[in-house]
Amino acid sequence: MSQPNRLTRGGRIDRSRKLSFTFNGKPYQGHAGDTLASALLANGVDIVNRSFKYSRPRGIVAAGAEEPNAVVQLGKCEAGQVPNVRATQQALYDGLEARSTNGWPNVQRDLMSVIGKLGGKFMPPGFYYKTFMAPASMWMTYEKYIRKSAGLGRSPTEPDPDIYDHMNQHCDVLVIGAGPAGLAAALAAARSGARVIVADEQEEMGGSLLDSRELLDDQPAEQWVAEALQALADMDNVTLLPRTTANGYHDHNFVTLHERRTEHLADTAPLKNGRRQVRARMHPGRAGGAGHRRPRAAAGLRQQ
């Protein structure tokens, strides 16, 4: 299957490994290392959703958590449904199935777009605050159709088969973002004997250096990143957390980190030694003043 917008070389993908996936029921191919967003763009998919209210076509405009349009529904079976996933943050895996969260009967030909073309005249700002208030008996009918146009995914109706846990963390230095500054800071702190945690929300650590042509310490940036990460991985006082988002900074340097452990592998977490692996993990932790205590699993939970 052709990928009209795919460059013949470059990027952070493995062109020798092809992955099949579907978007809105249509089959496509990508490569290992793609995000869902990059695979869609490579295949020439330029409409991924519809805007709220006026149902105007929307495409991918960002590259990370800030992406406002490419919000998709993942999952084949009902129990494995995951709503409102940003395509820019979802690693491509073989067999991935994704759908737009808006657009009826489909995102390409959305009947609500007719209202969008007439919206300025018939749907002025704030009209919805008074239009659907009466009669009250009709609200449940209104709600059903308003919900369809809201552009949000739906929650699964069957029990989630996956396991989620949390692990308490303590460190002297917490580095959020494993770009050039983050890696340099982590190396300096770790070599001084401090206990260090490095968290980065991307699939691969290195930040801007992964596509840099500059030299660091007289070597290519990509090689410097590889050696820095290997050096950190070899240290007992360092914990590396890729695919991990710092989603809360609270009083007294208390931080919550959300690690996506197996969401890049399949709809549901795969089995390992006959047991289902943890799909996602929350790391509540405090940086500084905690000494050099090792991370401790939460009571009743198994470290995996």
Q: What is the pLDDT of residues 80-97, one digit of tens each?
A: 899 999 999 999 999 999
Report yes or no on 1 lying in a domain.
no
Distance between CA 281 and CA 214 in Å, rounded? Answer: 36
Closest CA to 238 of 253, 228, 247, 246: 228
Buried b (16+ CB within 10 A) or exposed e, 163-198: bebbbebbbbbbbbbbbbebbebbbebbeeebbbbb
Strand partners, 170: 286
> Looking at residue 297, what is its pLDDT?
35
Average pLDDT score over residue span 270-294: 79
Strand partners, 239: 197
Distance between CA 284 and CA 288 in Å, rounded? Answer: 14
Q: Please indicate, yes or no, whether residues 104 and 186 belong to a single structural domain of this protein.
A: no
Q: What is the pLDDT of residues 200-251, one digit of tens each?
A: 999 999 999 999 999 988 999 999 999 999 999 999 999 999 999 999 999 9
Q: Please indicate, yes or no, whether residues 175 and 77 belong to a single structural domain of this protein.
A: no
The radius of gyration computed from the CA coordinates of the chain, to the nearest angstrom, equals 23
Distance between CA 286 and CA 303 in Å, rounded? Answer: 19
Q: What is the pLDDT of residues 5-57, one digit of tens each?
A: 999 888 899 999 999 999 999 999 999 999 999 999 999 999 999 887 778 89
Q: Please indicate, yes or no, whether residues 126 and 231 belong to a single structural domain of this protein.
A: no
- With tokens 């009571």, the residue in question is 299
Is the per-residue pLDDT at 298 higher than 50?
no
Report yes or no on 156 lying in a domain.
no
Which residue among 148, 177, 196 closes a domain?
Answer: 148
Q: Please indicate, yes or no, whether residues 140 and 55 belong to a single structural domain of this protein.
A: yes
Please answer whether residues 145 and 264 qualify as being in contact, where contact means their C-beta atoms are separated by less than 8 angstroms.
no
* Pairing of the two strands 71-74 and 238-241: unpaired
- The CATH number linked to 181 is 3.50.50.60
Q: Please indicate, yes or no, whether residues 179 and 132 belong to a single structural domain of this protein.
A: no
Distance between CA 113 and CA 122 in Å, rounded? Answer: 13
Please answer whether residues 245 and 201 qualify as being in contact, where contact means their C-beta atoms are separated by less than 8 angstroms.
yes
Q: Please indicate, yes or no, whether residues 117 and 188 belong to a single structural domain of this protein.
A: no
Average pLDDT score over residue span 124-145: 73
Report yes or no on 20 lying in a domain.
yes
Q: Please indicate, yes or no, whether residues 199 and 259 belong to a single structural domain of this protein.
A: yes
Domain that holds residue 281: 163-297
pTM of the model as a whole: 0.84
> Looking at residue 124, what is its pLDDT?
66
Q: Please indicate, yes or no, whether residues 167 and 120 belong to a single structural domain of this protein.
A: no
> Looking at residue 137, what is its pLDDT?
84
Report yes or no on 208 lying in a domain.
yes
Domain count, the chain: 2
The angle at the Cα of 43, spanning 42 to 49, to the nearest 5 degrees, equals 100
Report yes or no on 53 lying in a domain.
yes
Q: What is the pLDDT of residues 149-200, one digit of tens each?
A: 666 888 888 999 899 999 999 999 999 999 999 999 999 999 999 999 999 9
- The CATH number linked to 86 is 3.10.20.440
SS3 at position 52 = coil
Q: Please indicate, yes or no, whether residues 136 and 196 belong to a single structural domain of this protein.
A: no
Q: Please indicate, yes or no, whether residues 174 and 126 belong to a single structural domain of this protein.
A: no
Host H or E run for residue 273: none
Q: Please indicate, yes or no, whether residues 86 and 171 belong to a single structural domain of this protein.
A: no
